[in-house]
Structures are given as structure tokens and as C-alpha cells.
Amino acid sequence: MVKMSLEPVQVMSGQVAELKVAPSSNGDSAGSWEGKREFDKDHLGLTAKPKPPKPENAVTVAVSSRVLFRTEREQKVFEQQGVEEYLRYQIEHENEPFAPGPAFPFVKALEAVNARLRELYPQSEELFDIVLVTYNHAHVGIRLINTINHHNLFIERFCMTGGSSPIGYLKAWQTNLYLSADANKVREALTEGIAAATMFMPEKMTEVSESQLRVAFDGDAVLFSDESERIFKAHGLDKFFEHEKENEDRLLDHGPLKGFLEALGKLQKKFYAKGQRLDCPIRTYLVTARSAASSGIRALKTLRAWGLEIDEALFLAGAPKGPMLEKIRPHIYFDDQMFHIEGAAEMGTIAAHVPYGIAQKHNSKHNTSAGK
């Protein structure tokens, strides 16, 4: 009996010639299938499609359909005409792909990193795994699949909840990061210990690298706890500096995005092990309003004690972050204050709000913070 592989294959180009299997000496055709020279998938124009990694081995990034793609028109139909008309509209337009949304460049960069990792470690499952999470009914899945194929994305895992909360599924996927347009669901995820952020679509989008993933983080209430931010909010800048000086040898507690930076660092080290530190396709940034001399040392000591490297650290001493982010051109920037999110967006940076910590009581369009 001929043994057929269950591995999925994808036709890349050209026509597939007729495959003739010559029998072996005992009349069984298996022998010719096993000979590499007689069955060359490259000659047939076929290539094996990579399998998604197991969740326990992967760095899992869950993205909602509303941040991966532009769905404003469909959302308006839902809000103005109701769910039944929304479903009918989606089915009628299921062959029309959605345009890329704010998370699209980030996801493409994750896939570029995966391609490099597979070249260096063909058998490893330590990869990014993207899971599409949506409140949509399963009927909408056809349009989403068509869109994913149209944009040549490799997303095999879907979670379509039909209006139910996805948080339980995120925990089952062992999610390392959840990106959504729904601030309430992001807060729910953070409460459950899942790194999460709300994404926004800037009016203009700065062009970003297609070969290097760049991720920028704020410090307090993002990588670190909001302990120092609380001192600043309650007692002012001078007391904040005094507190940081007195406690510079005491580590800051971890914030909601510390685990994601840790996951990025783990993948970076796989490139370092192959002598590719200077050509690593992952680069991380700390962009903080802290002052270097007055309050920066505690942040750096904390990262070092955690065993985490940050490629570039920018201590801005209260200066606007937008111009610096415009130079960095990150695929995503995480901050806990909407003031900084809006400033980044004005410069074309895709920013994600982490609704965590004391600053949420003070967030407004005109709020500033020199302490963080």
C-alpha cells in the first residue's frame, strides 16, 4: 500500500505534472515514494506548509479581527442596523477582502521572524503563533479566511465566539499578548493576568521595517508596576526623585507587559546563539519619561536583575515621546497613558494603550507625566 503524507501542501506556481509511481521489485509502489530523487516536491511546484507550533512551546499573540483588519464600515452596519443585517452584509461581501488594520504590520513582522527562526531551527516550535480572536459569528469566518489568504498571512488558529467573551479561550491558548479594539475586554484580560492592550488606528501610518520586528515599551505601569507612578501622582516630581534615589537598589515589581518582553528576549537569544546578535530580526526599546540620572538607574537595575536585555533605552526626562518614536518606527508601542498614545499616533506610530495602574484615574487628553 502506498503511504500518503498527511502534511498539507500548497501549490505555489505552475501546473502539477502527472505523478507516476513505479512499482518496486515486489510489486509494491512504496519504494519509489521513499526515494528522494524520484519524488521531488520542488520539481512539482509544491512546498510544504509549516505547521502551527504547540501552544506550550509558542509565543502566542492573539489579535482581534477589528485590529488586524479595517472593519469600520461593517461595525457601523452592526451598530446602526443590528446583528441580522450585519451577518447578511458580511455574507454578501465575503469575497471582498478587508483592508489591513493597525495590527497588520506587527503580524507581518512576527511572520518574518518566524521565517528566520525556521531557517535556523527547522524542528523547533519556539515560534510566534498568531491566533485570530473575534466576537463574530462563524458565518463571518469565510470572509476572514478569504482575507487572510488574500494577504498571504499564516494564521491557522481562529476563535470565533459569537458574541461571548474570549478571555477563557485566551487562557487556554496560553496567550502571551492580546490586542483588541475593545478596551473593556482588554481590562478583563489584564485582570486575568494576560498581557493585553487596546490598539488604535492613526490617521497616518509611518512605514515600518519588513525584516526587523521593533517593539517599544513604556516603563512604569507597562514593564514595571505603578509603584513609582503612585508616588509621583500623590506627592509630585521632587518626592518621586527622592523615592527612586532611596530605593534604587530595590527592584521594581513587574508590570503587565514584562512577560511579553521576556518572551521576545527568549527568541532573541536563539539568534544570538547562531552568532546573529547584530543581525537579529527582533529589536526592543524602552521609551520612558523618566530622567536618566535622577530615576533611570532603578529601571535598568531591575531589567538586569530579571535577566532581560533591552536593545535601546531612551530616558526623555518629560520630553514628548512622539518624535523619538517617529525615529524608531516601531511596529507597536505600549504605554499606559492616553496622552502619550495620542502623541505617538499624531506622528504616525501605531500605539497600544495598556489600561493598568494609577494613571487610569488621571487619563485625559491633556494629562502629562514627567515622572514616567
Just list the catalytic residues.
218
Single-letter code of the amino acid located at 247 = N
Domains and CATH numbers, the chain: 1-49 (no CATH), 59-199 (3.40.50.1000), 213-361 (3.40.50.1000)
CA–CA dist 359, 227 (Å, integer): 11
Q: What is the pLDDT of residues 254-292, one digit of tens each?
A: 999 999 999 999 999 999 999 999 999 999 999 998 888
Return the pLDDT at 48.
62
Single-letter code of the amino acid located at 145 = I
Contact assessment for residue 364 and residue 340, using Cβ atoms and an 8 Å cutoff: no
Q: What is the pLDDT of residues 109-154, one digit of tens each?
A: 999 999 999 999 999 999 999 999 998 888 899 999 999 999 999 9
Q: Return the C-alpha torsion angle 313, 319, 323, 324, nearest 10.
A: 0
Its pTM stands at 0.82
Calculate helix-pair angle for 227-235, 237-246, nearest 10 degrees: 140
Residues forming a β-bridge with 159: 133
Cell 477563557 locates to 168
Q: What is the pLDDT of residues 205-250, one digit of tens each?
A: 889 999 999 999 999 999 999 888 887 777 777 778 887 888 888 8
Return the pLDDT at 47.
52
Rounded to 5°, angle at Cα 99 from 170 and 109: 60
CA–CA dist 313, 65 (Å, integer): 32
Contact assessment for residue 63 and residue 179, using Cβ atoms and an 8 Å cutoff: yes
Q: At 78, list the grid cell.
A: 452592526
Helix, strand or coil, per DSSP, at residue 283? strand
CA–CA dist 260, 60 (Å, integer): 10
3-state secondary structure string across 39-101: CCCCCCCEEECCCCCCCCCCEEEEEEHHHHEECHHHHHHHHHHCHHHHHHHHHHCCCCCCEEC
CA–CA dist 56, 296 (Å, integer): 35
Q: What is the pLDDT of residues 313-343, one digit of tens each?
A: 999 998 999 999 999 999 999 999 999 999 9
Contact assessment for residue 131 and residue 157, using Cβ atoms and an 8 Å cutoff: yes
Give Cα 145 to chain centroid, integer Å. 19
Q: Is the pLDDT of residue 4 over 50?
A: no
| Cα dihedral across residues 73, 99, 204, 133: positive or negative | positive
Return the pLDDT at 313.
96
Cell 481562529 locates to 158
CA–CA dist 297, 294 (Å, integer): 8
